[in-house]
Amino acid sequence: LRPRDLPYKVMFPGPTGTNAVEAALKLARKVKGRESVVSFTNAFHGMSLGSLAVTGNAFKRAGAGIPLVHGTPMPFDNYFDGTVPDFLWFERLLEDQGSGLNKPAAVIVETVQGEGGINVARAEWLRALQELCHRQDMLLIVDDIQMGCGRTGGFFSFEEAGIVPDIVTLSKSISGYGLPMSLCLFKPELDIWEPGEHNGTFRGNNPAFVTAAAALDAYWADGQMEKQTLARGEQVEQTLLAICAEHHDEVAGVRGRGLVRGLEFTDPTRAARVCRHAFGLGLLVETSGALDEVVKLLPPLTVSEDELDEGLAVLARSVHETR
């Protein structure tokens, strides 16, 4: 935080990502005194009830078994393929006294939607979203659980856009060793909980603190990890573009930033077949997107150039052999 001049307080809300999201939502509502939180189409923020309420995927939401309330979805970047101005619908609802939209406490967003199909928000879209939040007195929450900790290049995925969210959630890679850990970062002025007002069991896994500190020291003492991730990301992108060119009638496009990439298929069943075939050849990839139409690649950030080439060759073979 210090090299980035980020003044956040650090909270350890529990072992999993959804714990961090629940803490962020709860804090935002307490600070603003409002219930509604805006999320975006194809968002994924977790599997507990509060997180599911701001998740878009119908299959995941159905698991709740009850109505999911106090979450309002808005169109994510490029949802209308650039045919309407950014935030036109959102701003109109906020400004229209007859819209029926309760004033939101906060907006929660992923800079790259991992489970939603590797949908990348443009830097200018994120900056405009931050400006809208400031203008309308809403807190901006960035869910960096999957895309933070260097996945897109910089340590935080929002760095490229030059924004400073009010609240940030981190998990997954933060422990550096696959141990359970999640963090909720928030600006000091939002620290209004009384001692014990938001507590619980298993807030701090001691080995995870050790491995997280070691990982930060080993990989983030300089800019080498960021440079390597961007270089490896370019390596993946070039291979995916070549696959797309060879199978242009079946592959709709390539998506992603850094070392999170996606290959979109016109037929969702084809994406599933590619993943199964790759698994049989020793490569672990998965589908994402509303229809599971995207093959999602999340290589380890420590992957070598040769290892990455080997994995990409398996992927290319899997696409070819499932035609």
User: CA 90, CA 34: separation in Å to the nearest integer?
Assistant: 17
User: CA 273, CA 50: separation in Å to the nearest integer?
Assistant: 33
| Mean pLDDT for the stretch of residues 30-55 | 98
User: CA 17, CA 7: separation in Å to the nearest integer?
Assistant: 22
User: CA 99, CA 111: separation in Å to the nearest integer?
Assistant: 27
pLDDT value at position 203? 85
User: CA 250, CA 271: separation in Å to the nearest integer?
Assistant: 10
pTM above 0.95, yes or no: yes
* Residue whose tokens read 């939401």: 61
pLDDT value at position 169? 99
Map residue 182 onto helix, strand or coil. Answer: strand
Superfamily classification of domain 224-321: Aspartate Aminotransferase, domain 1 (3.90.1150.10)
User: CA 174, CA 215: separation in Å to the nearest integer?
Assistant: 8
DSSP assignment, residue 3?
G
Map residue 253 onto helix, strand or coil. Answer: strand
**Closest to 31 in 3D by CA, of 215, 184, 238:** 184
The residue ranges of every structural domain in the chain are 2-219, 224-321
What's 2-219's CATH class? alpha beta
What are the pLDDT digits (tens) for 29-40? 999 999 999 999
pLDDT value at position 204? 82
Question: Does 205 have pLDDT greater than 90?
Answer: no
| Structure tokens, 50 | 């509060």
Q: Locate all alpha helices (DSSP H) within 136-289, ordered by sequence.
A: 206-219, 224-246, 268-280
pLDDT value at position 297? 98
